[in-house]
Amino acid sequence: MSPKAPRDRILWIARIERRVHAWRERRARRRGRKPTVLLFPGYGGDGWVRVLGRVLIVPPVKSTKPGERARVRGWRAFASIPVGYATVRITIGGRTHEVAADGGGVIDARLEADLLPGWQKVEASVEGSESSESVLQVIAPGARHGVVSDVDDTVMVTALPRPLLAAWNSFVRDEHARQPVPGMAVLLGRLARREPGAPMLYLSTGAWNVAPTLTRFLSRHLYPAGSLLLTDWGPTHDRWFRSGSEHKLTNLRRLASEFPDVKWLLVGDDGQHDDAIYTQFTSEHPESVAGVAIRRLSPAEAVLAGGRTAVNDHSGADIPWVTADDGAGLAERLEHVGLLPPEN
């Protein structure tokens, strides 16, 4: 077998995926169904914003109340049909921009916008459809502290690496059945209140398909509002599956470039590769990291998650690293190293 065979095979898989999506889109359009835009909480800075969303043809569902849009959850989120390369009209701050979605229907656009710091509204439409709305957080130029938190097994108990359980959680279970990690909502809430307008971002290897479910989960369990940085689902041009580590590192590096004056507290767990990812980012951008907090999985969670990853010894590092079993333990250790003001 030639050295290029594995790459060629994956390219073939990616081409098949695109053809399947195109066939499903044509079939849905023949039935009279139209695409819509789902916007996700984004973020921005002085003079610009990063708008995130996806163009989809969503399976029809029944609304529960008159005038209320039906929720897309469970398997329906993955059954939605992505509409690649669609032209999307985005309106923010009185200005309208036209952007193109990528081949998977994902919108990730940096646009010029003069907005006040805080949460601002953004609207989008495609092919003359009804406008969809979301919000994004504009970070004040004087912000000095921010939080980037993992999601799976850090704020939400999911045991994501175990394939069967991950499929059950993603395709079947309602967000009401998912459990928050004890104490993490309180911890992240305290961190968010350290500085008015401090950026809060949830960085996950989860697919954009679960963004609506994740947003409702965070709100229901009183987690602070934050921007979502998820990823697409399925093969790429050179991989069977997208690299979660690469996705996280790419976004962390982007945040370091976009907000050079912000020091980030990085929050994760020891069930995937957060320690290794944060170690690499900290070595590359020590000026952008205030500290790292790693939640240790319980023995049962570690079994479901396929085991723990080894957490390196960071006792000699210049940047504080703390570990604990839950949010309360992490809060205590963050107080000890001066990264979290004591409660009054």
Question: 174 versus 334: which is more confidently predicted?
Answer: 334
**266, 240 in Cβ contact below 8 A?**
no
Residue 169 CA: distances (Å) to CA of 138, 295, 310: 32, 21, 26
**Which 8-state DSSP code applies to residue 176?**
G
**Cβ-based neighbour number of residue 94 at 10 Å:** 8
Question: 208-253 pLDDT, tens per residue?
Answer: 888 888 898 999 999 999 999 998 765 444 444 456 789 999 999 9
Cα distance between residue 225 and residue 192, in whole Å? 9
* pLDDT value at residue 312: 64
CB-based contacts of 222, cutoff 8 Å, min separation 6: 185, 189
Number of H helices, E strands in the chain: 9, 16
Does residue 4 have a pLDDT over 50?
A: no
Q: Which of 74-83, 134-143, 191-200, 311-320 has the lowest mean pLDDT?
A: 74-83
**188, 149 in Cβ contact below 8 A?**
yes
Question: Residue ranges of the domains in the chain?
Answer: 9-138, 145-336
Question: 276-302 pLDDT, tens per residue?
Answer: 999 999 999 999 999 999 999 876 665
Specify the CATH architecture of the domain 9-138: Sandwich (2.60)
Highest-pLDDT range among 11-15, 35-39, 229-233: 35-39
Amino acid letter, 28? A
Q: How confident is the model at residue 3 (pLDDT cuts 50, 70, 90)?
A: very low
* pLDDT value at residue 70: 41
245-253's contacts with Cβ under 8 Å and 24+ in sequence apart are 245/273, 245/276, 245/277, 247/205, 248/203, 248/205, 248/274, 248/277, 249/277, 249/280, 249/281, 251/203, 252/148, 252/203, 252/277, 252/281, 252/285, 253/281, 253/284, 253/285
Q: How confident is the model at residue 59 (pLDDT cuts 50, 70, 90)?
A: confident
Question: 114 versus 242: which is more confidently predicted?
Answer: 114
Q: Which of 204, 203, 186, 200 minimizes the C-alpha distance to 335?
A: 186
Cα 82 off chain centre by: 18
CB-based contacts of 335, cutoff 8 Å, min separation 6: 341, 342
281 burial via Cβ count (<10 Å: 0-12, 13-18, 19+) = buried
Q: How confident is the model at residue 267 (pLDDT cuts 50, 70, 90)?
A: very high
* pLDDT value at residue 317: 74
**Cβ-based neighbour number of residue 26 at 10 Å:** 10
Mean pLDDT calculated for residue range 180-196: 94
pTM of the predicted model as reported, rounded to 2 decimal places: 0.84
Q: Which of 274, 314, 315 minimizes the C-alpha distance to 154?
A: 274
CB-based contacts of 54, cutoff 8 Å, min separation 6: 37, 38, 40, 82, 101, 104, 105, 106, 107, 208, 211
Please name every residue paired with 92 in a beta bridge, in sequence order, or none if there are none.
95
Helix axes 184-192, 327-336, angle to 10 degrees: 40
Residue 92 CA: distances (Å) to CA of 40, 62, 111, 327: 14, 30, 9, 36
For the chain, the residue count is: 344
Pick the CATH number of 145-336 from 1.20.1630.10, 3.30.70.100, 3.30.70.1060, 3.40.50.1000: 3.40.50.1000
* pLDDT value at residue 31: 87
Q: How confident is the model at residue 170 (pLDDT cuts 50, 70, 90)?
A: low
